[in-house]
Each structure stands twice: as C-alpha cells, then as structure tokens.
A and B are shown apart, each in its own frame.
Chain A
Amino acid sequence: MANDFAGPMIRVVDLVTHYGEHLILNHVNLDFPTGETMVILGGSGTGKSTLLRHIMRLERPTSGRIFIKNQDICCMTEERFNQIRRKIGMLFQSAALFNSMTIEENVALPLHELTQLEDSTIRIMTRIKLDLVGLSGFENYMPAQLSGGMKKRAGLARALAMDPEILLFDEPSAGLDPITAAGIDSLILKLKLAFRMTIIVVTHELASAFMIADRITVMDRGEVIATGTPEEIRNCQQPRVLQFLNRIPEGDQVDQQEYLRALTQN
C-alpha cells in the first residue's frame, strides 16, 4: 500500500458528542496507526460503536475533529468524503445485508455502482471475495436463508468488495455462538496477515480482543481510559480496566439518602 502521508491512518482529536442532552463521547483522543489492528474494548453503552459511526461519518460530532490520512473529514463535502469512503469497509453489527438481494448481488452492489468494471469481471471479483470468507456456493441464497455467522461473513465479503485500506468491525461476534465467533476471529486474523489493512474492531469479548489486537483501547463512560499493546493492557493497574478484565460486576448504589429520594420523587 502506498504511504503518501505521515502519521496515523486515522486520528481522532478531542471528539465530543451528545445524543440530545446525554453526553456519549467525552473528549476522545485516539490514533489508529497505519496497518495495525486496534481493538476498542468496553461495556455496553460506553460509546465505542458511536466512535465507529463517527469515523464513517454516519453521525456528526458536537465538537472535535477526525482525520483520515491527514484529511479532516468533518468539514469535507459529501462528494469528497464518498471518495474516502470507498477505501473504508464496514461490517455492521447486524451484518446489514440488503434483504431484497441475493448474497452475490449484495457483494456486487458497490462494484456495480462505484466502478466501471464489466459485469463478468464483477462476477469473478464477487466470487473471489465470497471464497475468501468461506461462502462459495452460496451466491444465490437470500440473506434470510443464512445463519447469523454466515450473514456476518457475507457482510464482510461486501465490506471487502472495494479492496479497502481501512476495515471497521462493529461487534463482529455479537449474537454468535463461541465456535462461530472464533471462526470470525480467525477470519479477521487471516485478513490482517494477508492484506495489512488498518483494522478497527469494536467488541466486549475479551478473548477475541487479545487474540486479534496489535493495540487495545479500553473505553468507559465515553472516555478512553487506557490504550496500549495487549501486554500493557493486561498489566494495567487502573481500577476500571481491572474491573473490566476481571469481569467484576458494577457495585450497588449504597447512598441510602439518595436512594430514598429517588423512590419518593415524583
């Protein structure tokens, strides 16, 4: 891959975002080095998926900047950002396959719409991508006919269709049994070794995080609380990180006064 820019592939600077009044991301600063796999760990509702959606510009921040290849994507025109988007593939939590199309049509859609390639070429490329994720032979199936793990694989094939430089995974193992989830993990490892893409994986699965990551970032309540190599994270002594790694449940609220007030308030 040609490296015509210095610095990290993606840089998030002081990102703040709200849903209505609710603060979701609180001054997040994060670098995603080129060619590395970064896993963002955190519990539910800590804003890790929101961060991913901001990188894809599916949502707009309250303040802050996101740079992809040193270009600020927040104040870029839609037209220009679409050029960048072509080099980013995203696997959504629910795979987000188009239910009215076959698997092959799903994977071929970006090629059909965004390139001038011949139909026969597109057909071959689609087959290659499906073969890569282990779905050859399922070209003419509809998404509804596939299992959860196969849908994820098909979604991944579609994300890979445009040969992206950046690959984003939103909870790749959510809702999958351990064996299927491990299959997706090894697929991510395979891609990482084969293509040297910059990969970001959002997850709360500890085992898979330590298996696939070059670097891990732990998020809590909209803030980055630790970032480093898997080894550094494992040895991190910060209480919230320890709590997450050792799977200690959240303590109960013990303030009696506050509890009574909450009950009697109308």
Chain B
Amino acid sequence: MTGVLAFLGRNTLGFLRYVSGLYDLSAKAAYWAFVAPFKGRHVKWGNAVHQMVVAGVDSIPIVSLISLFIGIVMGLQGAYQLAKFGATYFVTALVGVSMTRELGPLMTAIIIAGRSGSAFAAELGTMKVSEEIDALEAMGLDSVRYLVVPKYLAMLVMMPCLTLISDLAGILGGTAFEMTQLDKTFSMCLWATRDALVMRDITTGLIKSMVFGLIITTIGCNEGFSVKGGAEGVGKATTSSVVISIFLIIFADVIFTAIFYYTG
C-alpha cells in the first residue's frame, strides 16, 4: 500500500515539476517577446526570420503533399458513404469543412511536430551538451531570449500560414478526385466549396493552429533544455519531444473543438 502511495506521490511530483518547467519557459519567453521590447531590449528578428524559413517555408512541400493526399482520401471515403444516399454532391462540402476545421490544422501540427519540434529539441540539446548554453549565460546573454523567443515567433506566424496552405491543398485533392471520379467540373467544386464554407470554419482552424504552434515550441525547447548526458540524451529528448507534442496537440484539439462546438 505504501509502495503504491509512494509511486503515486513520486509521479505526481514529477508531473508537477514538469508542468512548472513548461510554465517557467513560456512565461520567460512571453516576457522577452512582449514586455522586454518596451524596455529597449529588442526581439532578435533576424533569428526569428531565419527560423521562419527553416521551420515554415521549408515545410511547405511536405505539408502540401500530405494534405493533398488527405484531401483525396477524404473524397474517397466521403463518396463511399454518400453514394448510398445518392448524395455525392455533398462530398465537396465534406472535404472543405473537415479540412479547414480539423484536418488542415491537425495534419500540419503533426508534420511540424515531427519536423521542427524535434529539430528544436535536437538543436538546444546539442547546445546544452556542448556547454554552448552555459557559454551564452556566462556572457550574460539570456538563452531564452536568443534561442527560444525566435522559435515561438516563427511558429506563431508560420503555423497559420502552413495551415492555410494545407487547407487549400486538401480541398484541391478532394476536387481532383471528384473531377476524375464523380464527373464534376472544377467550377462546380469551387462553388460548392464556397457555399459550404463559412468564415468561422477557417478562423477556428487558424486559432487551433496557433495553439498547436505554441505547444510544439514549448515542448521541443523544454525537452532540449532538459537534456542530460551526451548524444544519447539528445536522441531521447528528440523522440520524447515528438511523442509529447503529438499527444498534447490531440488533447488540445479535443478541448478546442469542444469549445468551438458548444459556442458555435
């Protein structure tokens, strides 16, 4: 019995320590991003733009390709069900709504967690192991300001952009399927999508994508900073950053989708 209690206690404490670590990191980053600039300590925009290119622009091909495939799959699955009711007209609406509200932001977040979140963890972890982070601190330069804030800013800007691209690619994938298999024309699909979508579908997706971006950056950077021991530690941090990010992304997705459902 005491063993069980000790186990529970130890894990609860470990969990709380982890959460407070995440809080500290994001609070510090928020300070350097939004408060410090008013005190004359400017954000490192050069680094932020570099991160935008690496984490955002360079991800466009893979995000578009995967979203295109997801759009085709959605079209196929939708047609399979809706054909029973002779309602294949609604396949377009199905693809459009599910891409913008759900699959666009979610797929983008999962790809970016695997691509950039892990890169953040590996970069900071390697710097930790090779004492580069200590060297920054020893010069009196704040590691969060130099290394983390640019990543947050890049993700806050690039996640909605990538999500829009994903939405578009998914809808195009669905359209391509319908044009070839359901004998619709391009303009029919375009109009059907326009009729089916409301602005709220797109904005809720974009809000989610920003939240996902915050999760990916926080987890990736936190895992990187907490690396202990050499190369093996970096590897572990990289893996766990992806696993934890994807878990939290889907968890946040449930919560936000529920909020949008009940307030919509």
Footprint of B on A, CB under 8 Å?
53, 56, 58, 78, 81-83, 85-86, 88, 90, 92-94, 96-99, 109-110, 113-114, 158, 162
Contact = CB atoms under 8 A, between A and B. Distances in A.
A110 B139 contact: yes
Contacts of A90: 135, 138
A114 B130 contact: no
Contact of B140 (A53, A86, A94, A96): A86
Interface string B115-144: 000000000000000111011011111100
Contact of A98 (B132, B138, B142): B132
10 contacts: A56-B137, A58-B137, A86-B140, A88-B138, A90-B135, A90-B138, A96-B131, A96-B134, A110-B141, A113-B139
Interface of B: 130-132, 134-135, 137-142
A99 B138 contact: no
A85 B137 CA distance: 9
A155 to B, nearest CB: 8
Given A58-B138, A78-B142, A110-B141, 16 more contacts: A58-B134, A58-B137, A85-B138, A85-B140, A86-B139, A90-B135, A94-B130, A96-B131, A96-B135, A97-B135, A99-B130, A110-B139, A113-B139, A113-B141, A114-B139, A158-B135
A85 B138 CA distance: 7
A78 B31 CA distance: 14
B39 to A, nearest CB: 10
Contact of A96 (B130, B141, B142): B130
Nearest to B44: A113
A96 B132 contact: yes
Contacts of A98: 132, 135
Contacts of A56: 134, 137-138
Nearest to B130: A94
Contacts of A86: 139-140
Contacts of A85: 138-140
Contacts of B131: 92-94, 96
Contacts of A78: 142
A94 B135 CA distance: 10
B57 to A, nearest CB: 19
A114 B140 contact: yes
Contacts of B141: 109-110, 113-114
A92 B135 contact: yes
B132 A99 contact: yes
A53 B135 CA distance: 11
Contacts of A114: 139-141
A54 to B, nearest CB: 12
A78 B131 CA distance: 20
Contacts of A88: 138
B250 to A, nearest CB: 33
A109 B138 contact: no
A12 B140 CA distance: 21
